[in-house]
Amino acid sequence: MYGNDFTPPGSSETAAPATGQAGSRAFQALLDADGRIEPRDEMPDAYRKTLVRQIAQHAHSEIIGMQPEGNWITRAPSLRRKAILMAKVQDEAGHGLYLYTAAETLGADRADLLDALHTGRQKYSSIFNYPTLTWADIGAIGWLVDGAAITNQVPLCRCSYGPYARAMIRVCKEESFHQRQGFEILHTLSHGSEAQHAMAQDAVDRWWWPSLMMFGPKDTAATGGDPSSGHSAQSMAWGIKRFANDELRQRFVDMTVPQAEALGLDLPDPDLAWNEESGHYDFGEIDFTELFEVIKGNGPRNAERMEHRRRAHEDGAWAREAASAYAAKQQARRTSEVA
């Protein structure tokens, strides 16, 4: 899954300054040589802060992303589908953990990051604020949402910050299972009964545009970054971001259109057409006002996701306390044996 690292225009959530402090010469030399920054290296504060925010937001997205899919575990249409979906949701938890520990190498505290999520100070990907209405949505999430995530995340495997890049290599390996299982669900439905085909088409109709929005707002040509947040260009210079939003979005569209044909499903965009001259698919205008509404908390499921997340954390407190108590008891027993 994926955390979007952009904010609505005029948002008070501060983006990193577009021109960070110079940082040490060693830091710049490493970046210039396309080397990797490791946790104990000197780094500009703004670099550290940008990474903590981005990685945390990414981690939050992974664990919030468990909800729309977990919603269907009890209703998966067969034991095979149920086992696969449980494995996928477990992967999302694992991805969250890889990322939280990567953020901790920068001096962040996981408990603080969870607080920031629970109090709404940090965001997660807006894509998870859409509901999963039918079983076909599980297919559409795997194929489109995870497909968009992979397109975004593969370049992060070469991110300048070592622990983040290493976490992303693991995440990307596992995401390709996610995308294929989604494709298979849709393929089966699309070639099933008329009602099943219609269910698959309906899911694709609802998930296509939100998936395109996962790449963030349009770039401005001058900066190679998005105009709303101002940290895109700086992230490029730091080697945290490797490609512009629009470039990645185009890559995703070009890969996905032929896959939709193989599925026998339509993508809900009348302007979608192969452009012989550019060698890419043209596609219609994206309504970003919707994206920013969802990021601001006005999406269909924002409140529910947050409430569920907080409740799960509180309901799990007894298990964490029991594990701590058991560990303390064992420790005390060992100490008294020695004495």
Partner 1 sequence: MGTDPEVSRRSSTTGAREWPLWEVFVRSRRGLAHGHVGSLHAPDAQMALRNARDIYTRRQEGVSIWVVASAAITASSPEEKDAFFDPAGDKIYRHPTFYDIPEGVKHI
Q: Which residues of this protein are in contact with partner 1, per CB under 8 A?
A: 38-42, 87, 90-91, 94, 97-98, 101, 104-105, 107, 109-111, 166-167, 174, 320, 323-324, 326-327, 330-331
Least Cβ distance, residue 40 to partner 1 (angstroms): 5
Least Cβ distance, residue 323 to partner 1 (angstroms): 5
For the beta carbon of residue 12, count every other beta carbon within 10 angstroms.
6
Q: Which residues contact 182 (CB under 8 A, 6 or more apart)?
A: 138, 139, 140, 141, 142, 143, 144, 146, 147
Which of 235, 155, 226 shows the shortest CA–CA distance to 7? Answer: 226
Rounded Cα gap, residues 250 and 280, in angstroms: 8
Burial of 110 (0-12, 13-18, 19+ CB in 10 A): middle
SS3 1: coil
For the beta carbon of residue 196, count every other beta carbon within 10 angstroms.
16
Closest CB to partner 1 among residues 304, 321: 321
Closest CB to partner 1 among residues 15, 30: 30
Least Cβ distance, residue 78 to partner 1 (angstroms): 22
Closest CB to partner 1 among residues 82, 110: 110
Closest CB to partner 1 among residues 169, 257: 169
Least Cβ distance, residue 39 to partner 1 (angstroms): 4
Least Cβ distance, residue 215 to partner 1 (angstroms): 28
Closest CB to partner 1 among residues 111, 222: 111
DSSP state of 37: B
